[in-house]
A and B are shown apart, each in its own frame.
Chain A
Amino acid sequence: MRDLLLLGLLPLMLYAMVQRPFIAVGMWIWTALFFPNAWVYGIAGIIRYNLLFTGVAIVGYLAWKAKPKIEWTGLGILVLAFFFWTLGSTMTSIGNTEVSWNYWIRFSKVVALFVAVVLVIKDKLHFDFVLWCVVLSVGFYADLETLKFIASGGGHKIAGLPGHVLGDRNELALAFVMTLPLCYYLWVEYGKQSRILNLGLLSTMALLALGVIGTQSRGGFVALLVLGAYMYLKSDRKILLTVLIAAFCIGASFYISSDYVARIDSIASADEDNSFMGRVVAWKLSFIMAMQHPFFGGGIKSLEYFPVWSELSKDFFAYPWFYTGTALPNMTAARAAHSIYFQVLGDQGFVGLALYVACLACSFMKAGSVVRTARKIGAPAWLPTAAVMVQLSIFAFAVGGAALSLAYFDLLFALFGLVVVLERRMLAAVMPATTVPNGTGFVPKFAYDARG
């Protein structure tokens, strides 16, 4: 039945995508995060939707007669520099080269998505469409799984779809946290327009937050807490947020088990926690790999290649200041880096890490700069709100990713692209182009007839 529905709706999706490249780019993100193949069991599972939508977006862009001017900012250059750096590290990989190349090809598709966003997305409608696609993929999954969590009285453990980029529950929790501010922006913008959208987006926000608890992810919980605090500080609607947070806390209290409370409490005594200290061991081995290969690092996924892991373990005591307590490397199986920073450090070396952190910092600061400039020039209220929410989403990733191996995440690079668009197209369009006299003085004349 699902197969029939998906196959029946596919031509309609393709028709809309062929008509406008921005729809194809939005659907590219949707299919990357929604993973349609995991939901069907029959003939519809044969189609590679992500590849198909990517192809439509690329062909659509090439055939587009009135392409907008290409805008490359410092952030765009940093992302591309990081991408070329990963090529160097993959060519010199010390791990399983087949696996490294496989993951590099996957990452090249993520960077292609970034480029597509920068090339195609140009105004509020496009921007909002992309965010809707994120909410209808990650937000939908949160709705579905959290409803199961509620129906089971808090017993259902939320996990990602096997084989998906968000297959791990910790990574899924982080994606939920990142989607929260994007959903909030859509709620502010579209909630007023219809009761269904208002209730739908409000409940999706609540289910996203409760979903983080349902995953039992401690990293996700910390990211949610930090995001909540930061969002509160940044928000112009503190009374509304206070009411929402209080309502959420009261509602969530019914579904929080004593096991979960004990798990969260263990954050305070992390140095006694085997699971956490196992991550610290992986961080240290990533660091050792970077010290041994400081220029290009070990290559993508090299740490998870057991011969490399066991070789690095021989130097485990080389840096005694790197505290690992009594924990030792597992000598039966390799582990992932469990931190975006140590993952990139081990995979790409010190220069690669510097480029990656520069991408994060630059996108965060650029989004902040859009907010300040938009407020200063009296731009429409949606513009600073959009920039703040993208900034918060990147911030959530930077915090929550500290204990996760999700460095090459599609959504992060799509957000980088949106920051470029916000700065170079959407802000530029509302910047005063000229000043015109109106008899009482000079007032700015906007170059852009703001939508919404």
Chain B
Amino acid sequence: MESLLWALDLLAVVYLCFWALNKEKREDQAARDRGVKKDA
């Protein structure tokens, strides 16, 4: 049970990293599309 929860937490952390990465990339793209220079 402990190992299962631990594994779920680890997977959640990896998911969080990629969610944040994709969200920032989308926002950067949207800013570029609007012609606003936004730092990466």
Closest to B13 in A: A136
- Contact between chains at B2 and A144 (CB < 8 Å): yes
B interface residues, tally (CB under 8 Å): 21
Q: Given A9-B11, A12-B17, A13-B13, A125–B27 Cβ distance below 8 Å?
A: yes
* A16 to B22 Cα, complex, angstroms: 10
Contacts of B23 on A, CB cut-off 8 Å? 125
Contacting pair A132 B16 (CB below 8 A): yes
Task: Check B5 against A136 for contact (C-beta < 8 Å).
Answer: no
Interface size class, chain A: 20 to 34
- The CA of A193 and the CA of B36, in the complex, are separated in Å by 28
Contact A5 to B14, CB < 8 A, known contacts A16-B21, A125-B20, A144-B2: no
| Contact between chains at B40 and A136 (CB < 8 Å) | no
Residues 4-27 of B, flagged 1 when their CB comes within 8 A of A and 0 if not, give 011101111110111011011001
Q: Taking CB as reference atom, which chain A residue is nearest B31?
A: A449
Cβ contacts under 8 Å, B11 to chain A? 9
Which chain A residues (1-43) contact chain B, with CB distance < 8 Å?
A: 1-2, 5-6, 9, 12-13, 16-17, 19-20, 22-23, 26-27, 30, 39
B9 CB, min distance to chain A CBs, angstroms: 4
Evaluate whether A68 and B27 lie within 8 angstroms (CB atoms) in the complex, with A1-B3, A9-B14, A13-B17 already known: no
Q: Which of A1, A23, A65, A68 contacts B17 (CB 8 A)?
A: A23
| B5 CB contacts on chain A under 8 angstroms | 140, 143-144, 147
Docked-complex contact B7 and A2, CB < 8 angstroms: yes
Given A9-B13, A27-B13; 6 other pairs, CB 8 A cutoff: A1-B3, A22-B20, A132-B16, A133-B16, A144-B6, A147-B5
12 contacts between A and B (CB under 8 A): A12-B14, A12-B17, A12-B18, A13-B17, A16-B21, A22-B20, A67-B39, A125-B24, A136-B12, A140-B5, A140-B9, A451-B27
